[in-house]
Amino acid sequence: MTQPSTERGQGAAEDVDLPTQYRPAEVEGRLYERWVSEGLFTADPHRNPDRPYFSIVIPPPNVTGSLHMGHALDHSIQDALVRWHRMRGHETLWLPGMDHAGIATQNVVERELAKEGLSRHDLGREAFIERVWEWKAESGGRILGQMRRLGDSVDWTREAFTMDEQRANAVRTIFKRLFDDGLIYRAERIINWCPRCLTALSDIEVEHEEVEGELVSLRYGSGEDEIVVATTRAETMLGDTAVAVHPEDERYAHLVGREIELPLTGRRIPIVADEHVDPEFGTGAVKVTPAHDPNDFEIGRRHSLPSLTVMDERGVVTAPGPFEGLDRFEARPAVVAALREQGRIVKEIRPYTHSVGHCQRCSTVVEPRVSLQWFVKVESLARAAGDAVRDGRVTINPPEMAARYFEWVDNMHDWCISRQLWWGHRIPVWYGPNGETVCPAPGEEPPAGWTQDGDVLDTWFSSALWPFSTLGWPDDTPDLKRFYPTSVLVTGYDILFFWVARMMMFGLYAMDGVQPFDTIALHGMVRDQYGKKMSKSFGNVIDPLDWIDEYGADATRFTLLRGAHPGGDVPVAEQWAQGSRNFCNKLWNATRFALINGAHVRGEMPEKLSTVDAWILSRLQSVIAEVDAHLEGFDFAKACETLYHFAWDEVCDWYVELAKVQLADERAEATRRVLGEVLDKLLRLLHPVIPFVTEELWTSLTGGATVVTAPWPSAEPARADREAEAVVESLQRLVTEVRRFRADQGLKPGQRVAATLEWGDSPLAAHEEGVRSLLRLTEPGEGFSATASLPVEGVTVRIDTAGVIDVAAERKRLEKDLAAARKVVDQTTRKLANESFMAKAPEDVVAKNRERLAQAEADIERLEAQLKALPAG
């Protein structure tokens, strides 16, 4: 790690405000509150109307939520984009807010009531909703404070909530439009039902888990009418209304159209032919229970089969008979036992692992159930959402995710939007005394004495309006005019089909065909270092707040972003967070060294620069261009890697060390200016990723007010100096090779060794002092006798290692390396002489083999020279 110099060169700074160590806890809170109080994150739709804008609306976290690693990744990506565009001079809006999270919030408050021995029904609907608002005011929204700790540069003056009055007006407005256009209807359909929460669920509120159950094969009918079906839910056979086979399955052709007796019930049910049935799966025959299976429901509709509901809303069997009153999981073994007594069980596979849906909020097994619900007719809306991507109005990044998006929107089913809850946007439909239905316009009173529908809207209904309701829609506000469509939606690929598609549908519908965002930037899931999903049951969940406490927000963000390739999952581990903290410390020490030694950004860059100064400025231009390209492509991992290696390897480990020599001679003033320039721009490049430490360092270095609004660096091609780069790269190879030799001999990095340097006509001769400093090589004294000689980069380094080098070990190492190099020469020579290989191999493969041969031949020459130079022994 770079340490500050103990001596001040001429022109060095007299006072350095930076403490000797970086302590994030003493910096982060202070800086964040200053940024907010100074309005640095506040957007203005009227400011500089001609300059480009950049806007993001935050995927609203649940009001019940707290920051987890998925949030931390999502927010770090968004904040990096927002800070980058803000520095580029764009009018930038990052709009924060929360989702009311209907089921989750209602469950939380109901648990609180249960502690008092009460239920929501004891309070009544109105009082219960008041209680939820009280809970939100006191305990909800904890995640907003945690967003501050992460450094989210959101515009807090525009904070929104999916249940506030503005969003409620937007919900009522779009519901009315959809209703009047015939795109909202009420019907009995099969839906996901939670027997514990007693409500319908959207697909995204159902989590599928692999569980162990049993697969039971049942014999229906008898004699020539016998047919075997298999099921994991034997209790649902009580509601079977048919058996289905494929129309081209010759095994059952004679049975299609006939009826068989359904065991245990005495009912006769038909055998129908349906193309949905896979004749290759199982026996090729399936039981059809339209009221309790979504696929069976569709078969039932196609064949006009009755739907028999055999369980109530709590999963208790209601079918008359011996199983009535049993819970579904009690009924299952009881039905199997009864069928076994009748000799109807053909086969039982136990345990049988299969995927089962669970309620996301309470983990109860979901029950498909026919229910009277409200739906959105999605056909035309989904087609528009697909067209917006196909015609290029919306770009999906990474592009390969587009196929999954089309698969979803092109095959979307009508969306169940009603929920049997009290907390949420109540469906704005009223019923008259004779069954009449009315949906008043917002602000319009319903007819006196009419009753409002008791259900509320799916949480995703209101969040689907988020990109435009947060900007003031349905009013034509300045924010809506300036910041819509939003620039990019950043979210995990896991909700591409649910939330993203619904925002696309509603945005295009409400905003006259204008998309809600120009780009959909998808990232993956945060996983542990082994690529395993984080789960409490696995014991591998990491709380990002623990990392922020221990290592700082910057280190937490850098760890996440360093693994964030477009669409790819992000593995993390605590040792990587430690490494990120070390990186922040490295920057701190390098900047403190620079300040102590008088680095500055005042005045123009000197025209005459040393090769080392010209090299680092040239490399800086390349890095700026590379980072821009990576950020444009949403590849934060590559941007972070580029900046990490430039900062640590090139600036700190090479340039700062070489600059120490220059700071002590006539090149000092130019080097101070170059060192200031490089750190100034490096800190600006790093600011979107690690905002706190860069703010503290940049303001100390430059005297500027804040790096938050400092201009983003632009590459200056005129500063490219390939000649200087070539010289320093040669110097680096020389130093690296000698360091490797020292390490092989057991020499400590700081141990000084006498050596002569024979430069020949090498341009590196001008850098002898720097080379000696980097390699800890002293001038040879009287009686010097070289015990080892290393020819590297046209330079011969003769070292006196008497008393420290193990000649036998070194000879053995060199001979081993020499044998390996000769083997490579032999293999590649034979390959390149093979006519068949040369005729068939691609040009790049042939070129790589030639490069490998040339490198091995050079290695042989170098190793033979080193062996020759070793002393006898």
For residue range 24-35, list pLDDT tens digits in order: 999 999 999 999
- Say if residue 747's pLDDT is above 60: yes
Cβ atoms of residues 859 and 823 within 8 Å: no
Least confident of 14-18, 30-34, 577-581: 14-18
Mean pLDDT for 744-748 is 78
Helix (H, G, I), strand (E, B) or coil at 151: coil
Report yes or no on 827 lying in a domain: yes
Task: State the CATH number of the domain containing residue 270.
Answer: 3.90.740.10
Backbone angles phi, psi at 120, to 5 degrees: -65, -30
Same domain, yes or no: 563 and 709: yes
Same domain assignment for residues 684 and 783:
no
629-635: Cβ within 8 A, 24+ apart: 631/80, 631/81, 631/84, 631/688, 633/397, 633/566, 634/77, 634/397, 634/521, 634/566, 635/564, 635/565, 635/566
The Cα–Cα gap between 115 and 130 comes to 18
Q: Answer yes or no: is pLDDT of 229 > 70.
A: yes
% of the chain residues with pLDDT over 70: 97
User: Which of these, 37, 1, 42, lies nearest to 21 by C-alpha position?
Assistant: 1
Same domain, 348 and 322: yes
Residue 537's SS3 state is coil
- Reading the block at residue 122, the tokens are 């004891």
DSSP codes joined into one string, 556-567: HHHHHHTT--TT
Residues 688 and 778 placed together within one structural domain of the fold? no
> Residue 166 falls within a domain, yes or no?
no
Residues 402 and 382: their CA atoms lie apart, in Å, by 14
The answer to whether residue 258 sits within a structural domain is yes
Residues 846 and 826 in one domain: yes
For 626, other C-beta atoms within 10 Å of its C-beta total 17
In a domain? residue 489: no
Q: How deeply is 320 buried, as exposed, middle or buried, from its count of CB atoms within 10 A (0-12, 13-18, 19+)?
A: exposed
Interatomic CA distance for residues 859 and 418, integer angstroms: 73
**175 near 184, Cβ under 8 Å?**
yes
| pLDDT value for 749 | 86
| pLDDT single digits (tens) 475-528 | 999 999 999 999 999 999 887 777 899 999 999 999 999 999 999 999 999 998
Amino acid 15: pLDDT:
64
| Of 740, 745, 872, residue with least CA distance to 804 | 745
Task: For strands 199-201 and 259-261, give the pairing.
Answer: unpaired
As a whole number, mean pLDDT of residues 529-548 equals 88
| pLDDT for the residue 9 | 39
DSSP 654: I
Q: To which residue do tokens 């896979």 refer?
A: 278
CATH code of the domain in which 628 resides: 1.10.730.10
- Indicate whether 783 belongs to any domain: yes
User: Is pLDDT larger for residue 39 or for residue 841?
Assistant: 39
- pLDDT per position as a tens digit, 160-211: 999 999 999 999 999 999 999 999 999 999 999 999 999 998 877 888 999 9
Task: Look at residue 12 and tell me whether its pLDDT is greater than 80.
Answer: no
Which pLDDT score, from 0 to 100, does residue 804 have?
65
Q: What is the rounded CA–CA span in Å between residue 608 and residue 670? A: 8
Q: Are strands 367-376 and 184-194 parallel, antiparallel or unpaired?
A: antiparallel
Distances (CA, A) of 195 to 39, 199, 363, 447, 794: 48, 7, 11, 35, 80
What is the amino acid identity at position 78?
Answer: Q
Looking at the predicted structure, is the pLDDT value of residue 298 above 50? yes
Q: How far is CA 88 from CA 4, 85, 714, 768, 853, in A?
A: 33, 5, 10, 42, 47
Q: Residue range 343-368: average pLDDT?
A: 91
Cis peptide before 474 (omega within 30 of 0): yes
Asked if residue 709 is part of any domain, the answer here is yes
Q: Which of 705, 720, 735 finishes a domain?
A: 720
| Listed range (97-111, 144-158, 758-772, 783-797) with the worst mean pLDDT | 783-797
Pair 600, 675 in one domain: yes
For 101-126, what is the mean pLDDT? 95
Q: For position 807, which CATH number holds?
A: 1.10.287.380
Helix (H), strand (E) at residue 586: helix 574-596
pLDDT of residue 682: 98
Task: At 578, give phi and psi (nearest 5°).
Answer: -60, -40
Instruction: Tell which of 339, 368, 397 closes a domain.
Output: 368
On whether both 753 and 707 belong to a single domain, the answer is: no
Residue 840 counted as an annotated binding residue:
no
Grade residue 3 by pLDDT with cuts at 50, 70 and 90.
very low
Amino acid (1-letter code) at residue 763: P
Pairing of strands 753-758, 795-799: antiparallel
Task: Tell me whether residue 663 is in a domain.
Answer: yes
Question: Residue 419's Cα: distance from chain center in Å?
Answer: 30
pLDDT digits (tens, 9 = 90+) for 681-723: 999 999 999 999 999 999 999 999 999 999 999 999 999 999 9
If asked whether residues 641 and 771 sit together in one domain, one would say no
Q: How far apart are CA 750 and CA 56, in angstroms?
A: 51
Residues contacting residue 758 through CB under 8 Å, at least 6 positions apart: 795, 796, 797, 798
300-314, 565-579, 702-716, 734-748, range with the lowest pLDDT:
734-748
Its domain, for residue 310, covers 199-368
Distance (Å, rounded) from C-alpha 506 to C-alpha 468? Answer: 10
Q: Residue 5: its pLDDT value, please?
A: 38
Q: Nearest-CA neighbor of 347 among 172, 472, 229?
A: 229
Q: How many CA atoms lie within 13 A of 40 on its CB side?
A: 21
CB within 8 Å of 791: residues ≥ 6 apart: 797, 862, 865, 866
Same domain? 219 vs 234 = yes
pLDDT of 601 above 70: yes
Per-residue pLDDT at 871: 67
The DSSP bridge partners found for residue 242 are 288
Predicted confidence at residue 620, as pLDDT, reads 98
- Is residue 564 located within the same domain as residue 703? yes
Q: Amino acid letter at 591?
A: T
- The answer to whether residue 316 is domain-embedded is yes
Tally of domains in the chain: 3
Which of 698, 720, 742 delimits the end of a domain? 720
Averaged pLDDT, 57-68: 94
Q: Burial, 602: exposed, middle or buried (Cβ in 10 Å; 0-12, 13-18, 19+)? A: exposed
pLDDT at position 8? 38
Domain shared by 647 and 765, yes or no? no
**Contact present, 495 and 488 (Cβ < 8 Å):** no
Mean pLDDT of the chain: 93
Say which DSSP state 458 is in. -
- Based on the fold, state whether residues 777 and 694 are members of the same structural domain: no
Those residues whose C-beta lies under 8 Å from the C-beta of residue 216, and which sit 6 or more positions away, are 230, 231, 232, 234, 336, 339, 345, 347, 348, 349
